[in-house]
Amino acid sequence: MPKALCLTALVISILVFLLFFSDLVLGQIGMESVAPFRGFNFWIDLVFSISAALIAWLSFTTFREQI
């Protein structure tokens, strides 16, 4: 069960990272019409991208310890 939770957290954090990072990048290069949140706020995108990357790293290292 703990391995499944680690993998679930890893997948969800990668999806959150991709969502907010794509909004960050597309908002900065001027393509707000295709950005997921229309480039709403730079700082929110940045904080959520960093947080999701940190959670993904923590999930991966915890999963690796369990193998």
Give the number of domains in the chain.
Answer: 1
Q: Are 10 and 56 in contact (CB under 8 A)?
A: yes
Q: Which domain holds residue 33?
A: 2-66
Nearest to 55 by CA among 22, 12, 2, 3: 12
Helices (H), the chain: 2-28, 42-66
8-22 pLDDT, tens digit per residue, is 999 999 999 999 999
46-62 pLDDT, tens digit per residue, is 999 999 999 999 999 99
